[in-house]
Structure 1
């Protein structure tokens, strides 16, 4: 029995009697549906079945679907921040952990991750993530302008690449294990070596690229950029 059905006293998401909905219950149910289906889209009908309510009743508690998706995305941001365990003085590791846990949450909830690059939640989860990144780059020794620039670079990288990985994973094989290989390039590059000799020369290396490894390399590149700037300034 799911957490939602336990709270309401029913089974399989269906309950007798009138359903008393609130934002917290809807968010909890939507996260469960997104995790279980692993699809690239969250359907109101599936959410209504889980809640045992008419799907239209959801929007008595959220202005529209965008408002609901903002709340869901903000909860994923909050979960990623809460999972960070490195102390503030280990700023590099805090940023790496934030990136790793964001990718985990996005891959687990791809229908919500799909909105990451088009929605700004303005919620506490988003604010906590921004605060963590700005604090980390400030502790690195960057001034306010440098901290903001590196936050923007890292945030853009995390949101865009993690959401892209999540969507690709959902569209290819949503039921596969999160530990399954995740190639960066889907299939071999069938280029004519006479016209594209460099592709032919590097075909094995291109096929070996793994999206999660590249994701973390991008995170490390932003961290290393901050370190170089501070080192050059103090040299």
Structure 2
């Protein structure tokens, strides 16, 4: 192969590597991205990653932080009042989690603790402050909003990874079925069976966000 036709290696820095892991997480949603796979995608030896990140966990934290920053930036530009902007932010968190499931699935156990993550905290606190909350009420509402969004978005990401071919739009059923249970023993479940089976992950996410923000309002 001539020098002109040989593939050019990426000039590595932290941003390039985070770009690459997010791209692979989008393109290969059912696989956890390894340094080896990243090296193949970037045309470098896997050991090159260690010059910029101590380990895969540190890289995953950086990728989660980038997703947080994206969600904040897009919500900031969305306009509207405190509730509209906060809903836009929380919905974008869920969408980004579904787009990058192997990264978002780690969000429930890894705290990015970077500028994007802190910007997300600031954004949520600012919108809740605009709603009139302060002191203990503000912190309690923040805990409810951020805890629910983090847990449910990570759960949806994990479901996507577990089900090959599943759509990445939150449409995986919340309840897959009731097995061999005799529903006549559970009258409310029996009466609402079809409606319960129609609920999907994103419906649960939206309902949870709405319930929390209704209580804030």
Q: Please give the TM-score of this superposition, normalised by the length of structure 2.
A: 0.89
What is the rounded CA distance, in whole Å, between the counterparts of 2:43 and 2:102 in structure 1? 21
**1:27-54 Cα distance to aligned partner (Å, 9 max, x none):** 1111111110012522222211101112
Of 177, 183, 205, which residue of structure 2 is paired with 1:193? 183
Q: CA deviation at 1:188?
A: 4.8
Of 44, 48, 62, which residue of structure 2 is paired with 1:53? 44
Q: CA deviation at 1:208?
A: 1.0
1:222 aligns with 212
Rate the CA distance shift 1:154–1:10 in 2: closer, same or farther, 3 A.
farther
Q: CA deviation at 1:177?
A: 4.4
1:230 aligns with none
State whether residues 91 and 140 of structure 1, in contact with CA within 8 Å, keep that contact through their aligned partners in structure 2: yes
**1:68-89 Cα distance to aligned partner (Å, 9 max, x none):** 01000000111111111333x6
What is the rounded CA distance, in whole Å, between the counterparts of 1:10 and 1:152 in structure 2? 54
Pairing 1:44–2:35 present? yes
**1:159-179 Cα distance to aligned partner (Å, 9 max, x none):** 1101111221232134x5445
Of 187, 197, 202, which residue of structure 1 is paired with 2:192? 202
What is the rounded CA distance, in whole Å, between the counterparts of 1:25 and 1:198 in structure 2? 53
What is the rounded CA distance, in whole Å, between the counterparts of 1:61 and 1:30 in structure 2? 13
State whether residues 105 and 154 of structure 2, in contact with CA within 8 Å, keep that contact through their aligned partners in structure 1: yes
Of 76, 86, 90, which residue of structure 1 is paired with 2:78? 86
1:116 is paired with a residue whose SS is coil
Rate the CA distance shift 1:209–1:53 in 2: closer, same or farther, 3 A.
same
State whether residues 185 and 209 of structure 1, in contact with CA within 8 Å, keep that contact through their aligned partners in structure 2: yes
Aligned-CA RMSD value: 2.2
User: Aligned residue pairs: how many?
Assistant: 213
**1:131-172 Cα distance to aligned partner (Å, 9 max, x none):** 111001111111122111111110011111011112212321
Of 160-169 and 191-200, deviating more is: 191-200
Rate the CA distance shift 1:107–1:144 in 2: closer, same or farther, 3 A.
same
Q: CA deviation at 1:186?
A: 2.5
Of 213-222 and 189-198, deviating more is: 189-198
2:203 aligns with 213
Of 63, 77, 84, which residue of structure 1 is paired with 2:68? 77
What is the rounded CA distance, in whole Å, between the counterparts of 1:196 and 1:42 in structure 2? 44
Of 120, 137, 145, which residue of structure 2 is paired with 1:154? 145
State whether residues 191 and 199 of structure 1, in contact with CA within 8 Å, keep that contact through their aligned partners in structure 2: no
Question: Any stretches of 5+ residues in structure 2 without a counterpart?
Answer: none
1:111 is paired with a residue whose SS is helix
Q: CA deviation at 1:104?
A: 1.0
